[in-house]
Structure 1
């Protein structure tokens, strides 16, 4: 479109310029697909703008779209259909915010676009999520008229694709570590068959639901939780979780070709420490066992009473002394030891005479020799408890004698007392 400032320009055109413009317009119109041409007068087709996205014209890149992060290459073709040169032709594209457009010469505009000629400007960026369809505008000026020429064309693309993001945490309790994986889909397409793996945990220990390490499908903006419980010895470990899946969509490549679905991955890591178990507490000392009680020896049995003598004692056996009743107040002198020994018995402490030796200084009168001590030993009788040859009366014998002495006195006192009454 040509905008005029002031009155109509044809009145000021010279004949030669008008003829040249007419011939050029006729030649351009003869070209196939060129459309109507404009001479040096007002025309809506003086400047033409054509835009392609990854070689696809206009809005053809909206479906199926370009994968987010892949290249987006836009080409802007500027055609001057008039015979007048256009100066300072500039292109603006709101569909590529922050992206510079480069034209021939390296600048962001075409300094001179001569009449009946064309040129191309380009811009390249990475696909962003969402739909980016806008009107691209181009404008230039004709200083000789003066006039401003403008053109516009609609173009755009859709940035598509699922995405994966993974985070990993750990909780340690004793020798057990619980690893948790949170997988998210910040993209705009569904991600399918997301598998979680980690060298720190076997595959059969990871559970994303149903005791499987796989998330069947994750819609845009959603998340899923997986976990694994492992047993480890003391030491430092690192969990390196990975999520792998696919959105199963085909997209447009840089040159307009079809790109197959790409594998989507996300990684995360966490470090954890398994401490050494605390030492076992010392065992409490047991209660000391009581000392065994001393065993008292059994009390000695009381002496058996002496058996009644059925007849006179044999010859040579000492008899207890006969005692008489002693009146009260009469002192009884101690009895001297009696040295009567039985025949053939040698008192203790005296050496036995050798065989054939005489006992004493006189004639033995035919007495036989005393045998050795081993042959003299004889079993002791009951009376030996009261009197021992060579030693005299025993303690039991003295008690018995005292008893025999005191008993008649007690009986006599009792009888005398009863008579006085």
Structure 2
């Protein structure tokens, strides 16, 4: 029976592959994008321009891209894993040499009206490359420190390039996403403990090497009221808006902090705050649960995959989405320092949306081809 199933999947037609796509998962993504459209419409004072309409167009294009990637055989993605990684690193180098500068950082490439942030795409490409490295390794081999050197170097290269932009938040998320793949591949917990201990020891030195604005973010996080009209303004206004929403919110288009423009960056980093003010605690928790459902769905795909490559890819992509959500929401609540991390599929921003949907396209490819057998000759 399993042999017949494998034979079927090796020769799946386009129609069969489309039928194998998890359409309930796609519906979850559409629901999140619809929430984003509603909030961006509200952020513009009840108008589709300049954010909501573009958000819808980008999501529509990204959804087509997701479905297209889902139809690609996961074995082809495995074969191209390190080529894709090299392309991602090349884009980061290109950013360092010719990238667009904005808000004191050099993070974007101008692609004829569309600004691409390669550091976002690199997280997905790094997950694919690390999964390709670990997918046939036994636990004994993973336990060999020498075996871990190449994937550690592969992780360090993009992290260092992103730090130079500078973009500390994305660099840390990239590191944690890579760590999730290492952990899922079987790297022992005590090795992570050693790394965390080394980070803790190096923290004072690292703090001194931070840029002035990065140190100010940490100080503002510890005491936002030390500069309420300056560096602390964002988080203070965010907390006021969160509290004013109450249990059921002030109503769509009725939020005071957002509609009267007291809330900064309401269409990007602080869109969850605006959502909580207008839809209240119930609405905010509902959106959080919707995001968590997407994460759990992705992890379920990882558990249901027969090959290690797919399991590792699905895990890394799911963790990446979770970290987007967690960091953004924790940031606007004042639980961590403020940084430029959007809420995926809800915030305004093309690079983050495109990256998330590309990642979910690869996740769907894992799901569609979850029972294929990867031969030894197909190693990356």
TM-score range, shorter chain: under 0.3
| Structure with larger RCO (C-alpha < 8 A, sep 6+) | 2
State the TM-score, normalizing by the size of structure 1.
0.14
Which structure shows the higher helix fraction? 2
Q: Which one has a bigger Cα radius of gyration?
A: 1
Structure with greater strand share of residues: 1
